[in-house]
Amino acid sequence: MPEEADRRRFARLSTAGKPYGVRFSHGGQDVQSARLANLSACGCGLEVQMAEAANLESGSLLQGICMEHPDIPPVPLDGVVVRVLGKVPGKTSGYVLVGVDFTAITPLVQGLINDHVLAQQAGL
């Protein structure tokens, strides 16, 4: 059985502890306290505070996802939630990890994000 990394279309970069910000909208609510956990050219992982994740479920649409880093194009992207980890009954604090697939991303932006991920992995 192939490893999960072998099935990925694009390399993924862990952004934990690095200077990456993110903001987006969901259901008319602006979410600005989320953190970018990982990034690839086809999606990202977001750490979202429980208070702001109450209405996030698999299939939810996120609008205007903006990654805040000088080497990433400041282009708002849309995405669909493909998984929500850590959201359990009774949990009222902390965060959940939200997996997002970008939708309608242009090949140019996808290529720029992929180039950034590969450069960061190579230590450039």
pLDDT of residue 1: 42
pLDDT of residue 73: 85
pLDDT of residue 51: 87
pLDDT of residue 6: 54
pLDDT of residue 2: 46
Structural domain total, the chain: 1
Contacts by residues 53-56 (CB-CB < 8 Å, ≥ 24 positions apart): 53/84, 53/87, 53/95, 53/96, 53/98, 55/26, 55/27, 55/29, 56/26, 56/81, 56/84, 56/87, 56/96, 56/98
Low-confidence residues in the chain, pLDDT < 70: 1-8, 124
Q: Please, what is the average pLDDT of the chain?
A: 89
pLDDT of residue 95: 92
What is this structure's pTM? 0.88
pLDDT of residue 124: 64
pLDDT digits (tens, 9 = 90+) for 10-28: 999 999 888 898 999 998 8
Question: Which range of residues forms the domain containing residue 30?
Answer: 4-121
pLDDT of residue 58: 96
pLDDT of residue 123: 84
CATH number of the domain enclosing 79: 2.40.10.220
